Structure 1
Amino acid sequence: MSRPPSQTGEFRLRDIAVAAFGPSLLFGISQGATLPVITLTAIDRGGSVAVAAFIGALIGIASILTNIPSGMLATRIGERLSMVVAAVVSASGLILCILPISVWTLAVGVFLMGSASSVFSLARQSYLTEAVPVHMRARALSTLGGSARIGVFLGPFLAAAVMHFFGMSSAYAVALVAVVGAGVIAYGVPDLDSRASDRAASTEATTRGMLRDHRRVFLTLGTAILLLSAIRQSRQVVIPLWAAHIGLSGSAVSIIYGVAGAIDAATFCPAGKVMDRYGRKAVAIPCMALMALSFVLMPLTHGFASLVGVSLLMGFANGIGSGIVMTLGADMSPSVGRPMFLGLWREFSDVGAATGPVVLSLVTGLASLGAGIVVTGGFGVAAALAFWRWIPPRADRDEPVEVSAPPHPPGSPPP
């Protein structure tokens, strides 16, 4: 196989567009096609509402459980083969979802899909981090995140068109075709021959050793990523919840959600360019500050027009942060054992994504929905402050970056 352009001469992002971003787009289409129908399928096969909600949550649960094993797999067999394995596992899960056997067969299929998504995302990020020159890293990873978002945006529409003629299970068939296409493209991606020596050394690394050697990064920027993921995941819940609270119709909610999603998907390219030119803080801090502002403003809206305005701000804020989690993870990761580091990095992101909606629910139950939204917006303020404090002035270099340790009690040994 030929070597990636970054290893042979002048690098142009468009030279690897299909190989790098095609699988991500197709995996996004697969996710977008299936996510809206998983809980409906569970109920259709005899599951209760509680069981259906649990099966819908299995995507996230599987990701949390498999992030670290995903890093170990990519370390041992390489990123390209890991992506192929992910496609095979996801296709197997989709076939189980298509078969009308039982609700628990569906659950196994959904779990396999979530596990495969974790493997694929980590391997794709690790591959691009190595293949792309450092001065274009943020653009590449932002485009990677943007291509996945576009896929998630397109997936429901493709599935809806097919379901109109062939029923609900055909949504999984759309996803299956997309996943097989992603696997075929990934199989043809060039291997990174320069990684051979690093991979041999990486097999000696352990999860405990990685946590020990990079504990300062995980305790500082890892916490910031957790906070960012908490508010990001909550944004998907607060728009429909508040819209229902102020009495908007379902069609109005769909329009608002769709417009916000379109703005989100349209802003990933400028975000990467800004990060590469001005540094990571130039995007991370405004992203979180604007996201927090949109949460604070949302309880002040009382109609369609005002909620559209706040939702557009929320979509823009999230969009300009496209790729920030992957870019910071790539910046902080060591060249030896990079996939294992990124697996741990993804744990902070996934735990944050699980935490945000839970906090929103708890505060809403104890006080009110408006209070819950404002308190959840506090995650954005905390994340902005954490990024301001702990992103190094020049994090975008191809070496692991050590950040300042958090304060510790006087007289105690430093961490």
Structure 2
Amino acid sequence: MTTETPFRLRSVGVSAYGPSLLYGFSSGVIAPVIAISAIERGASIAVAGLVVSLMGIGSIISNIPAGVMTTRFGERRSMIWAAAINAAGLALCLGDVGLWLFSIGVLAQGMAGAVFQLARQSYLTEVVPLAMRARAMSTLGGMARIGAFIGPFAGAGLIKLYGLDSAYAASLVAILGAGAIAYTVPDLPSHTSAEDTSTWSITRGHWRVLATLGVGVLLLSAIRQTRQVVMPLWAQHLHLDPSTSSILFGVSGALEALVFYPAGLVMDRWGRRAVAVPCTLVMGLSFLAMPLTHGAVTLGVAATVMGIGNGIGSGIVNTLGADVAPAIGRPTFLGVWRELADGGAALGPVILSAVTALAGLASGIIVSGVVGFAAAAVLFRFVPRRDTIR
């Protein structure tokens, strides 16, 4: 008589989480210097901001093609190609290249990142049993956050010793390492079948879940992205020095990185709603509290609550996407799913900016907090019950 060996997350620790950690590090090490590099190549401050945004734009325009690509060629080959394209983009950022080539390199990194992230999500959905899916997804997000947290500190040291290009060189080494690990990942069964797995057919066949739960994910992503803008702006409004603002931001990020695994455990044991709703409510409340702060200590408290709120939602978008994705055409569906999430991430700061322009920063922050409450309401209504998840 044989007994089935229980699945353990550490069995996919290197193949799934190694690339996630390295990708997070790669992004984190260059994130603080992209604008500076653009200015050094002749960009104005406004143009430098646009160059930074190319990373997100690249992701938005590539999510759906990434799903089609992964459906057709599989997770392993998609990750390898994504790492190669990202490495090529980083190579364009090295050395004395002009602003146009540098911008193309940044855009390529955003596009490749979308493919790599989607392929990793699809890979984990396939190999991890349902009972551990949320822990797997939250750990995936947690590894990326740890890498992104370490990256700026490593980059600061390298830049001090070897100059600005060293940050891009370190990012390139990390991406090549992620690609090398992806090369060792075993191929999964093909996603192709006689059924139509085009983007249009998948979207049409699952429009209800995309128009309901997908909207909740869009709103969640909006408030998540806005939190990265709100705290530095309010710190400046309080006339705090940049170093204090950076410390508060770092503490918030550290807390996010600490709670990802407990969040996944809660989702696996008590359902996705047990994390999705508290995550959005806590972030919404922290936004409403922020205009009431008047110094570093009170702002630090609000930032701490915000970090915990976001941290307990680690992996929730990926987990919900895996829960509702069809077995046939899963990567294609996940491409549409990630498009909703990235669309929300782009929309959140726009809402903040528009309301701030009309009624001031405090009002913009309050409206953003209301977006969090709206996300909580939609997710409470449409997150699938635990017994219906397949």
- Which TM-score bucket, shorter chain as reference? over 0.9
Equivalent residue, structure 2, for 1:392: 384
Shift of 1:199: 2.6
Preserved CA contact (<8 Å) 1:30 1:178 = yes
Alignment correspondent of 1:330: 322
SS of corresponding position for 1:36: coil
TM-score, normalised via structure 2 length? 0.98
Q: Are the counterparts in 2 of residues 280 and 324 from structure 1 also a CA contact under 8 Å?
A: yes
User: How far apart, CA to CA, are the structure 2 residues paired with 1:201 and 1:267?
Assistant: 42
Alpha-carbon distance in structure 2 between the residues aligned to 1:351 and 1:132: 28
**Partners of 2:11 and 2:209 in 1: CA distance:** 33
- For residue 160 of structure 1, report the CA deviation from its aligned partner: 1.1
**8 Å contact from structure 1 (residues 332, 395) kept in 2:** no
Runs of 4+ in 1 over 6 A off after TM superposition: none
Q: CA deviation at 1:14?
A: 1.1
Correspondences of 1:7-26 after superposition (within 5 Å): 9-26=5-22
Q: What residue identity is the alignment partner of 2:193?
A: A
Residue type matched to 1:184 in 2? A
TM-score (norm 1): 0.92
- 2:166 and 2:269 map into 1 onto residues whose CA distance is 44
Cα deviation for residue 201 of structure 1 reads 4.1
Q: Paired residue for 2:281?
A: 289
Corresponding residue number in structure 1 for 2:347: 355
Extract unaligned runs of 5+ from structure 1.
1-7, 399-415
Shift of 1:10: 2.0
Per mean C-alpha deviation after superposition, the further-off stretch among 159-168 and 262-271 is: 159-168
Partner residue in 2 for 1:200: 193
Q: Within 5 Å, which residues of 2 pair with 1:131-210?
A: 131-192=127-188, 195-196=189-190, 198-201=191-194, 204-210=196-202
Of 251, 262, 286 in structure 1, the residue corresponding to residue 243 of structure 2 is 251
Tell me the distance in 2 between the aligned counterparts of 1:169 and 1:246. 34
- Are 1:239 and 2:231 matched, yes or no? yes
Q: Does 1:221 align with 2:213?
A: yes
Indicate the residue corresponding to 1:403 in structure 2: none
Query: Which of these residues, 117, 120, 134, is aligned with residue 116 of structure 2?
Result: 120
RMSD across aligned positions (CA): 1.1
Equivalenced residue count is 387
Q: In structure 2, do the counterparts of structure 1 residues 363 and 138 end up closer, same or farther at CA, with 3 Å as the change threshold?
A: same
Instruction: Check 1:395–1:225 CA distance in 2 against 1; reply closer, same or farther (3 A cut).
Output: farther
Whole-Å separation in 2 of the counterparts to 1:395 and 1:224 = 20
How far apart are 1:396 and its partner, in Å?
6.5
Alignment partner for residue 297 of structure 2, among 300, 305, 321?
Answer: 305
8 Å CA contact retained: 1:135, 1:396: no
CA distance in 2, matches of 1:392, 1:16: 27
Q: CA deviation at 1:298?
A: 0.2
Q: C-alpha separation between the residues in 2 aligned to 1:181 and 1:395?
A: 39
Matched, 1:52 2:48: yes
Superimposed CA distance per residue, residues 123-149 of structure 1 (whole angstroms, 9 cap, x where no aligned partner): 000000000000000000000000000
1:102 to 59, 76, 98: 98
Deviation of 1:39 after TM superposition, in Å, equals 0.8
Report the counterpart of residue 81 of structure 1 in structure 2: 77
Residue deviations 1:9-65 (CA, integer Å, cap 9, x gap) = 421111211111000000000000111111110001111112111110001111110
Q: C-alpha displacement at 1:327, in angstroms?
A: 0.2
CA drift of 1:190 comes to: 1.6
| Whole-angstrom distance in 2 between the partners of 1:166 and 1:395 | 55
Alpha-carbon distance in structure 2 between the residues aligned to 1:395 and 1:98? 51
Q: What percent of counterpart residues are identical?
A: 55
1:331, 1:396 within 8 Å by CA — same for their partners in 2? no
SS at match of 2:187: coil
2:107 is matched with: 111
After TM superposition, the structure 1 = structure 2 runs for residues 274-285 of structure 1, keeping only pairs within 5 Å, are 274-285=266-277
Quick one: which amino acid aligns to residue 327 of structure 2? S
Q: Report what 1:34 is aligned to.
A: 30
